[in-house]
A and B are shown apart, each in its own frame.
Chain A
């Protein structure tokens, strides 16, 4: 009797309720986080550029374009390459650099370098940092003390200096750059994850799990990790931007991606380039713009994710 007295009106209240489809949920999220959508769109565009670089780039990025009178330092929107008995090449949209290579093509190919380096370095760094943070936060004691000292020790170094030294010692190859970046990234992640773990540990369900006989690995994997995923994801997206910045700084200083492979940083770098800039400012403007846009979109994404996943951290 009571049941039907409650159930019928309730059912009536919920009549017509249709579970929102994934599309409408997506649209709803888009409306609430417009900047996040913009950021995701920009990142997807970069991924497309990186994946389809050979098709999308008008010229080969390391080839010096030829034309009567040379093609170095041609301004944007100049005519393309012109070789004997060949039709005119596609327009050089962003100009050519001091050696005569097409800047647009180099920027497109540079997307590959930046994204690959950033993603691999951040995956490595976040993985190590999360592992250290989880173990350190969960077990405490000696593990915690030792790892925290190491984390503090590493964080004492100014980041660029550390990266520079590692790459200088080991040699400027792409693998060494990943490693240098991962070394910079993991301490901060470890710290953040550790404090997240410490606060999650206080919860009743952890105690309940232990009481039921769950082993530490199970508790960590089943109960703690899902609840610290939010800071991991937010941190990772911001570190992606950071990684691009540091990689381009290294390339700028000559210790990053070895030329002639185009990286946005080494397109700007070198004293030789700098001396020629006054006649051809576009050489400096566009690669830097690419870096800024890339970093900006990752920062935006991180901000949006933060708003969605953890409003308490808002505004940092």
Chain B
């Protein structure tokens, strides 16, 4: 088991290197100069100021120097400053990350609570009307763009319930009720798509498990349906589902961007989006790196948990 963990950990390192290189190269692919783009956004280009700022930001160094310096700073906890506002990025992150985490966790919870029972039910009652409705739900969740669902929900919440998203964010610990009110609608929208994929997967793994011989034995023994499903089938069917739920977290990181923008939640996704629009490349670079690293870490955790759940993996 330890070997497995070590192997997975070591494997992640080159991946993160690749990620960091990709991000750095991407930012520098900008036609023209980063600083010039920023000044053009601001409205006036002052050549003397350009060189000064370039030097300040270290942009006149060759690429490999910039890359190494930046990576070193990033890894030692100093991702730099936002070009736009001048604030240290860690400060921006400190306020944005909890929001995204809360949104993602709520969405994951809601998604799983809906998806797993529906998945089980549609598998057990295969080809009944329950099955058809469940599958319709899943397919629509996969096909409908999340920004459309978000926009429509916002629209109809406003029209029918006169509900508008609050402008200012209220912390979870300051005022739980108000906070949950603010988060519940975006979390449901985000969780909807997640629940569609998870429901399909639960259904298919459940179907496979229900075909196994030991399930047939259980039926033959005369066990009630509830016992067969809950005691024998469920655990084995859920293993792939749990691993997929883990990988869905990565999707949540991306999906939260659109939802945060639509519902006005100042999380990491919104921060990155604003940074991209404002051409704030220092922040963009740090944000993307952070989110990608987070995704790699999550994948690692999922792989490790897979090894823990399924003993066959551990000893391979």
Contact = CB atoms under 8 A, between A and B. Distances in A.
Interface of A: 149-150, 152-154, 156-161, 164-166, 168-171, 241, 245, 248-249, 252-255, 265, 268-269, 274, 277-278, 281, 284-285, 287-288, 291-293, 295-296, 299-300, 314-316
Interface of B: 14-19, 22, 26-27, 29-31, 139-140, 142-148, 151-152, 154-156, 158-159, 200-201, 203-204, 207-208, 250-251, 253-255, 257-258, 261-262, 272-273, 276-277, 279, 284, 288, 291-293, 295-296, 299
B151 A291 contact: no
A152 B151 contact: no
Contact of A277 (B142, B155, B251): B155
Contacts of A166: 26
B155 A169 contact: no
B134 to A, nearest CB: 13
Contact of A253 (B31, B139, B154, B261): B261
A288 B26 contact: no
B151 A253 contact: no
Contacts of B273: 164, 253
Interface class of chain B by DSSP = helix
7 contacts: A150-B18, A165-B276, A170-B30, A170-B31, A253-B147, A292-B144, A315-B204
| Residue with the greatest number of chain A CB neighbours at <10 A, chosen from B147, B152, B201, B258 | B147
A160 B190 CA distance: 14
Contacts of A254: 277
B152 A159 contact: no
A292 B147 CA distance: 11
Contact of B254 (A159, A274, A281, A291): A159
A158 B254 contact: yes
B204 A316 contact: yes
A307 B295 CA distance: 32
Contacts of B159: 278, 281
A157 B19 contact: yes
A156 B250 CA distance: 8
Contact of B145 (A153, A169, A245): A245
A156 B204 CA distance: 26
B132 to A, nearest CB: 12
Contacts of A269: 147
A154 B19 CA distance: 7
Given A159-B254, A241-B143, A165 B26 contact: yes
B272 A161 contact: yes
A291 B147 CA distance: 11
